[in-house]
Amino acid sequence: MLRDKLRGVFGFPVTPFKPDLSLDLEALESNVQEMLKHPFCALVAAGGTGEMYSMTPSENVEVVRRTVAVVQGKMPVVGGVGFNTPLAVEMARQMEQAGADALLCMPPYYTNAPAEGLLEYYASIGRATSLPLAVYSRDWAVFTPEMVARLCEKTPTLEIWKDGQGDARKYSRIMAKVGNRLAWVGGLGDDCVVPYFSIGVQAYTSSISNVSPKLSLELAEAGLKRDFDTLNRLVNQYVHPLYALRDRKRGYEVSVMKTMMDLMGRKGGPVRPPLENVTAEERAMIQKLVELYQADGY
């Protein structure tokens, strides 16, 4: 099963846009080609870092299609779906036809969904295709261990759990409740690799994979070996300074990464509203961070 093969790092390519904010699919293909040079366990096309919510359903499907075409089976491609049940179901079916190997399901549009409705949202998407399903528990999509166990029963295709809550206590309880039925993935950010690997995740999702695949893979290697001296050193030296910039404004988790890519000669481009591009002052701060990464071989 796919869940057993997912160890290490999920690469999370951004979705480049042109100055007029239309899709830049040539830039996307170039970025994916570059990421293919590194041994990620999978690539997630049109995920959160890929600005799924800023695109139309058809744009998301096209991003997945182009990514699949470039990857050519060298690693699994996971397509991001969401919005509401009908749209997510249709996107899932089209992504399956486009060649996706799995689906990453984002939270539904409704922020106050009751527990049963939330479970049925994910179960409906899981029933729509034969693809392995990954649930991204983030923001208002909060689960108890019992809810995750019930969703496993309702959704045979559910194989992957991506945590975006950052509550190591609750996540460890969920993992203990469900066991090896799911692949456990850390999904809140590269700055959370220490607590995630301390409770036994097998992989994590990395936006740093866009700017330094080497660093993201070293973080995962240290985490899987439970080498917390190395892990803490890497996080303190390279990850925390980056996340301090990302924390300056909501949405900067994408904006800062795209700017950093541009400054490194990769293809980031602008973000779509409601996200905002970084200021000139912040761009200069990011440039100093780029110089640190490059000086140290990252």
pLDDT, one tens digit per residue, over 104-119 is: 999 999 999 999 999 9
Cα of first residue to Cα of last residue in the chain, in angstroms, is 33
Calpha distance 289→133 (Å, rounded): 36
- pLDDT, residue 296, reads 97
What pTM value is reported for the model? 0.97
217-233 pLDDT tens trace: 999 999 999 999 999 99
pLDDT at 184 (0 to 100): 98
pLDDT at 65: 98
Domains with residue ranges and CATH for the chain:
2-226 (3.20.20.70)
Range 16-25, long-range pairs (CB < 8 A, 24+ positions): 16/258, 16/267, 16/268, 16/269, 17/269, 17/270, 17/271, 17/272, 18/269, 19/269, 19/270, 21/270, 21/272, 23/55, 23/59, 23/62, 23/63, 24/267, 24/269, 25/62, 25/63, 25/66
pLDDT the model gives residue 51: 98
Note the pLDDT of residue 293. 98
Could you tell me what percent of the chain has a pLDDT over 70? 100
Share of residues in the chain with pLDDT > 90 (%): 100
- Residue 245: the pLDDT is 98
The Cα–Cα gap between 123 and 105 comes to 10
Q: Quick one: pLDDT at residue 272?
A: 98
Show the low-confidence residues of the chain (pLDDT under 50). Answer: none
Query: Crossing angle for the helix pair 115-128 and 85-97, nearest 10 degrees?
Result: 20
